[in-house]
Amino acid sequence: MSVVKDLDALLQDFADHHVPGAGCIVMKDGKVLYEGYKGFADLAAGRKVDENTLFRLYSMTKVIVCTGALILFERGKFALNDPYSDYFPEWKESSVAELTGNGTFVIRPAKRPIRVKDVFNMACGLPYPSPLSGHPTDKGMIDVRAMLAEKFNGKYNVSQEVEAMAQVPLRFDPGEHWLYGFGHEMVAALIERCSGMTVGEFLKKEIFEPLGMTNTGYRYTGGQKDQMAVLYHINDDGTYEPMVGNMDDRHEPDAVYEGGGAGLFSNLKDYAVFTQMLANGGVYNGVRIIGRNTIDMMRTNMLNDTQLAEFTNTYLDGYGYGLGVRTMMNIGGVSNSTPGEFGWTGAAGTWTSIDPENHFSVVYMHNTFPNNEEYHHMRVRAVAYGLLE
């Protein structure tokens, strides 16, 4: 069984040998079991990681955005089997770029419409586009973003992006495969269409303010910019080189875009409160945010065997995928967490595990590229779950 000093020692080892600095909070039943910060948020300034340090969440934004969307689901604003085109008519006639036997692509109509469920569980057929890919989908998405940047002088929002992406052919017919990518931008746009607010306004009203998450958002306020951890690139020789985050400009007060797949920043305490709300049936400190059954639906595997094979790797061993979150199906000898435990990871090293069976949650954060997620997160999971009696 782990003790607190084991997690302390692990974080210190990370800060001494692997990342400039890191923090972790473990909570159960609304109470903190462990809170620790090691190393530096800014090496040059000598600023240490502490409870005020803000981290780029990148894809850990997804857990918050999907929770926000499911609040609207509970209010009857949409159903998961609804065609997405009920909310964005531009998507009524989707097409697919199909590879032929001679290595060329043919663009044909999709066999069925994209459903709302498809955008939650990454089965809509749109990736995060790569400029190195020759696929028509990737090229089309990149071209759409270039067009929007020119048309709006870089100041377009997620709903405008989703509307424009409807002209891009999909990688596959909706629902047939799992492909990490653009789906959660479509979830964010759905929030905007169903609520009449921007994503940021809705999350602030329905999640951040009720939970007291004053250090979580898309835009800097007050002195938040100075509290942000420096993003470092880890060089081959183990040294750290400061770098500019590829979405840092979206935190500035004059920015417009608020993404569903990435874009929020937070600190450990704020995110730990959010995860405890989910771990305790949608309630924290007497404030209900979402229903217990909806959380259970969110953390139920939605992938078929084909999609699971496309999703699974050594980092995700034992997990399936629900409505925007990985979900533990089988601990399989590699994990000491609990079946039904769920969460996600951020590209720069943030990670969370949420366990409703034990009313338990873990939040870990650092900000580096590469994030070396398998090394850090699996060790944090092993030690943190050892704290459970």
Q: Per-residue pLDDT tens for 86-134?
A: 999 999 999 999 999 888 999 999 999 999 999 999 999 999 999 999 9
**Model confidence band, residue 26 (pLDDT cutoffs 50, 70, 90):** very high
Say how many residues make up the chain: 389
Question: Do 59 and 93 reside in the same domain of the chain?
Answer: no
**Model confidence band, residue 379 (pLDDT cutoffs 50, 70, 90):** very high
Q: Look over the chain and give the mean of its residue pLDDT values, rounded to a whole number.
A: 97
Q: Which of 195, 218, 237 is at the close of a domain?
A: 195
The SS3 assignment for 367 reads coil
Question: Do 239 and 213 reside in the same domain of the chain?
Answer: yes
* pLDDT 10s digits, 231-285: 999 999 999 999 999 999 999 999 999 999 999 999 999 999 999 999 999 999 9
Which whole number is the average pLDDT over 315-320? Answer: 97
Q: What percent of the chain has pLDDT over 90?
A: 97
Q: What pLDDT, on the 0 to 100 scale, is given for residue 333?
A: 79
Question: Do 165 and 252 reside in the same domain of the chain?
Answer: no
The SS3 assignment for 108 reads strand
Which whole number is the average pLDDT over 328-345? Answer: 94
Question: Do 190 and 206 reside in the same domain of the chain?
Answer: no
Question: Do 118 and 241 reside in the same domain of the chain?
Answer: no
HSE toward the beta carbon, residue 337, CA cutoff 13 A: 32
Q: Is the entire prediction scored with pTM above 0.85?
A: yes
Measure Cα distances from 224 to 25, 218, 221, 389 in Å. Answer: 20, 11, 6, 38
Question: Do 154 and 24 reside in the same domain of the chain?
Answer: no
CATH of the domain at 81: 1.20.58
Q: What pLDDT, on the 0 to 100 scale, is given for residue 2?
A: 77
Which whole number is the average pLDDT over 293-317? Answer: 97
User: What are the residues whose beta carbons fall under 8 Å from the beta carbon of 17, sequence distance 6 or more?
Assistant: none
Spatial CA neighbour of 164 closest among 185, 182, 184, 141: 141
Q: Which of 195, 227, 256 is at the close of a domain?
A: 195
Question: Do 114 and 250 reside in the same domain of the chain?
Answer: no
Q: What pLDDT, on the 0 to 100 scale, is given for residue 35?
A: 98
* pLDDT 10s digits, 132-190: 999 999 999 999 999 999 999 999 999 999 999 999 999 999 999 999 999 999 999 99
Question: Do 293 and 238 reside in the same domain of the chain?
Answer: yes
Q: What pLDDT, on the 0 to 100 scale, is given for residue 1?
A: 75
* Whole-number Å distance between alpha carbons of 229 and 348: 11
Q: What pLDDT, on the 0 to 100 scale, is given for residue 331?
A: 83
Q: What pLDDT, on the 0 to 100 scale, is given for residue 332?
A: 81
Q: What pLDDT, on the 0 to 100 scale, is given for residue 319?
A: 97
Question: Do 272 and 236 reside in the same domain of the chain?
Answer: yes
**Model confidence band, residue 64 (pLDDT cutoffs 50, 70, 90):** very high
Number of domains in the chain: 2
- Residue 169: domain span: 77-195
Question: Do 312 and 212 reside in the same domain of the chain?
Answer: yes
Which H/E stretch holds residue 375? helix 373-385
Spatial CA neighbour of 117 closest among 82, 142, 149: 82
Question: Do 147 and 292 reside in the same domain of the chain?
Answer: no
User: By mean pLDDT, which of 97-101, 206-210, 346-350 is the weakest?
Assistant: 97-101
Q: What pLDDT, on the 0 to 100 scale, is given for residue 130?
A: 96
CATH of the domain at 329: 3.40.710.10
Position 38 pLDDT exceeds 80 = yes
Q: What pLDDT, on the 0 to 100 scale, is given for residue 101?
A: 85
Position 51 pLDDT exceeds 80 = yes
Q: Which of 195, 211, 240 is at the close of a domain?
A: 195
Question: Do 188 and 209 reside in the same domain of the chain?
Answer: no
Q: What pLDDT, on the 0 to 100 scale, is given for residue 102?
A: 87
**Model confidence band, residue 11 (pLDDT cutoffs 50, 70, 90):** very high
